[in-house]
Structure 1
Amino acid sequence: MLTLAELLHPITPDRFMADYHDRKPLHIPAGGRPTKAGIFDWDRLNGLLAQSAIWTAANLKLVRDGAPIPPDQYCTRARTPTGEVLRPAPARVDVFLSTGASLIADDIQSLTPELAALSDMLARTFGASVGANAYGSFGGVQAFGTHFDLHDVFAVHISGEKTWQLYESRADTPIAMPGGGSDPRPYYQQTRGPLLQSVRMRPGDVLYLPRGWYHDALADGPVDGGNASLHVTFSVAALYGRIMFGLLETAAMQDPAFRAYMPPAHVDGGAALQRHLADLGQRLSALAASPGFRDTIAGKQAELAPRLPAYGLPVRKPLTLLRPTGAPPPATGPLGETLQWAFSQPTFALEDLCAEFDTVDETALRAAVAAAEADGTLKRV
């Protein structure tokens, strides 16, 4: 598993956070040591593509000259137990690839151990959801024109060469694509600004782009596989302020002040309503600044990085059964919700508790249960 330090080497994580994260792009050449490219390769991509049942028009796409190829041109309708789906037809896909189309395999972050481990590391480091896409391109045919993304990007180059053009413009903390559903390409061309940097990506290189940074890329190097280029991008989408609104509403409604009627606006020329709103605002401010609300947000961040699966078949794992003794559960905190769940059950399995709260650190959870056993509030069955 690559650590953040290994992914960024020779840039240290501290320097990355201080100088680059959410500030400016960073190109990290492999320096003759393409070990980072080992997270993926053409053989593994081909192996995944051969598992035709996992692909639909939604997660396997073809693009050529900046425009997506309509799914009905490379897919066929396949019957599944849940209904019909548009499934890529390998022979049709091959024809389009022969014409120079690029292939994009989306949502592959859990399909190999290496991709899953790197995605998990990024998710936990940045408190973010992480997705991984593989891009297979052929020399001289551009897939996407200039654009920006709504998330940070870590691109790891696997095979061949590709030139990325980075422009001076950056969209200001974007949360939606421009154009309102119309073709955004003219907008990107008009707003990307002058060329800032041309980056030549080779096997083992890493490129970091903050969200909103204008860029485009073209496979154009003399490489093995007939001018083919392969890279994997990891999209890192952290939570932002909007998430507070729904969570604050849920928390605020526990306070009777937020359930009370508001004074009519005409009373005292609006002064009574103004005082009422100011009081509610102060209560919201105190609630948002409270440790409990911080823990709520921390829990939402943790939900973006559930524990990696770890099957051990054919071993049948034993269950550790426990029951509450009648004493109240321990005080709240990051593990408060998990312990409340445990103490609400007549009996429960420790393993079921870990499965129910798969975003909570398992070591901390087991330690909390052990502490509850030690103080007599939980007892083994």
Structure 2
Amino acid sequence: MTFAQAIAPVSTEDFFAHSFEKRHLVIRRGQADYYSGLLCSADIDWAVSTLGLSVPEVNVVQADREITAADFAYESGFVDPVAVNQLFADGATVILSNLQERLPKLALFCRELEKVFSARVQTNIYFTPAHSQGFKAHYDGHDVLVLQVEGTKEWRIYDTPVHLPLEEQAFNPHDVPIGALTDSFVLEPGDMVYVPRGLTHDAVSTDQTSLHITTGLMMRSWADLMVEVVRKMALHDPAFREGLPPGFANAAFDGGQAEATFAALKAKLQNATLSPVLDEFREEFLSTRLPRAHGQLAQMSKLDGLTTESLLAARNSLIWRMSDVPGKNGEPDQVALSCQGAVLTLPAHARTPLEFAVSTPRFRAGDLPGDLDDEGKLVLLRRLVREGLIVFTEPDR
């Protein structure tokens, strides 16, 4: 499932123009099985009972009573499946964090969202018995897409106390007043709601057991980028590295000169450029985005049968960056592909077929563009299959 499918019939363009980081968005479909391909209650039973999960992969909560890890986990941290299920039967919500690391179908969905947002994406799965509430009203420090898979849940939205909070502005029930109720709605199977970070909300299951996927978007902010800009400037300009004025904490300190210094440093920021820092963020994202090469052993077993008539496809959800590597004469003599936590370096003449192969949904091996002969095309394609970047596929029927 792609992001566009997850929010349909709302378009991606409309979502970013009118909802993203602005307001919550509720989508009702009347199609109960819309998200059933991503998760089901049997998956929860399987995960809790057989995977040997530990805290905090599994948590158990209930809004009106305190439940600690000691109530459902051994001293080793491993979860006691019997205790978890008993607490669920008594009205508690079972939360499975980062289940996308265990279920390929969830992993692929998160990878599709990562392509859209250029951000790490994780899931929290909430399995709530009827007439129960896991958390009291709160806001999250990241945007979420909530996909209702089974059962129903009533959501309530309140005034936003902190718009787009930073990590230091995390929700604290003692410091943050819950504002007036501004909206309420019931999510049925196949429905979804987008909730931007900082928007206070709570949810209560109705007369049915509820299963939903909360997909968290871990976005980098402009504040993150500006902090990195200053750090990079300090590496090259000692003025940023000078100590603060001696005695600045004293009551008699005269801040006039400090103000002048601060103004001079701010002026130097006018010369800062965006590209180096944005490139650094991009490379960090690509280098830490580890492969999800499901079925790779089966793909490798097909390599002996690779011919120019073979049908192949770029793996779903690849995010890559291609750059030229200059040689001794300054002209590019190699091309580097950053993808799935690795850098693949090939001769410069492979750039055109390489880019085609990692970006084309389906193609015939012999149709690779560029100057490679047939044997060269097969050599390149074998390498890309081994790297987990392309896969054999079947013809359309």
User: Normalising by structure 1, what TM-score?
Assistant: 0.72
TM alignment of 1:262-301, pairs within 5 A: 280-287=265-272, 289-301=273-285
Q: Percent identity?
A: 20
1:19-47 deviation per Cα after TM superposition (whole angstroms, max 9, x unaligned): 11111011111233532232100112222
In structure 2, the CA distance between the partners of 1:339 and 1:20, relative to structure 1 (3 Å rule), is same
TM alignment of 1:10-49, pairs within 5 A: 10-32=9-31, 34-49=33-48
TM alignment of 1:180-195, pairs within 5 A: 184-185=172-173, 187-188=175-176, 191-195=177-181
CA distance in 2, matches of 1:201, 1:165: 11
User: Normalising by structure 2, what TM-score?
Assistant: 0.69
TM alignment of 1:58-69, pairs within 5 A: 58-69=56-67
CA distance in 1, matches of 2:73, 2:260: 62
Report the counterpart of residue 196 of structure 2 in structure 1. Answer: 210
Q: Secondary structure at the match of 1:213?
A: coil
Q: 8 Å contact 1:64–1:100 — kept in the other structure? A: yes
Structure 2 gap segments, 5+ residues each? 247-253, 304-320, 329-334, 355-369, 372-379, 381-397
1:231 to 201, 206, 212: 212
In structure 2, the CA distance between the partners of 1:171 and 1:273, relative to structure 1 (3 Å rule), is closer
CA distance in 1, matches of 2:175, 2:293: 43
Report the counterpart of residue 240 of structure 1 in structure 2. Answer: 221
Q: Secondary structure at the match of 2:77?
A: strand
Report the counterpart of residue 144 of structure 1 in structure 2. Answer: 135
Structure 1 gap segments, 5+ residues each? 78-84, 222-226, 319-333, 344-349
In structure 2, the CA distance between the partners of 1:371 and 1:302, relative to structure 1 (3 Å rule), is closer
State the AA in 1 paired with 2:2. Answer: T
1:164-205 deviation per Cα after TM superposition (whole angstroms, max 9, x unaligned): 11113342221247689xxx44555xx222211111111111
Q: Secondary structure at the match of 1:163?
A: strand
Which structure carries more relative contact order (alpha carbon 8 Å, separation 6+)? Answer: 1
In structure 2, the CA distance between the partners of 1:296 and 1:98, relative to structure 1 (3 Å rule), is same
Aligned pair count? 325
Report the counterpart of residue 96 of structure 2 in structure 1. Answer: 105
1:370 aligns with 2:350: yes
RMSD value, Cα: 3.9
In structure 2, the CA distance between the partners of 1:122 and 1:67, relative to structure 1 (3 Å rule), is farther
CA distance in 2, matches of 1:208, 1:12: 14
In structure 2, the CA distance between the partners of 1:234 and 1:259, relative to structure 1 (3 Å rule), is closer
In structure 2, the CA distance between the partners of 1:185 and 1:271, relative to structure 1 (3 Å rule), is closer
State the AA in 1 paired with 2:178. Answer: R
Q: Secondary structure at the match of 1:122?
A: helix
CA distance in 2, matches of 1:114, 1:102: 23
Q: Secondary structure at the match of 2:126?
A: strand
2:70 to 69, 72, 81: 72
1:231-283 deviation per Cα after TM superposition (whole angstroms, max 9, x unaligned): 01001120013433663355325535558868999xxx999988776554444
1:200 aligns with 2:186: yes
In structure 2, the CA distance between the partners of 1:170 and 1:305, relative to structure 1 (3 Å rule), is farther
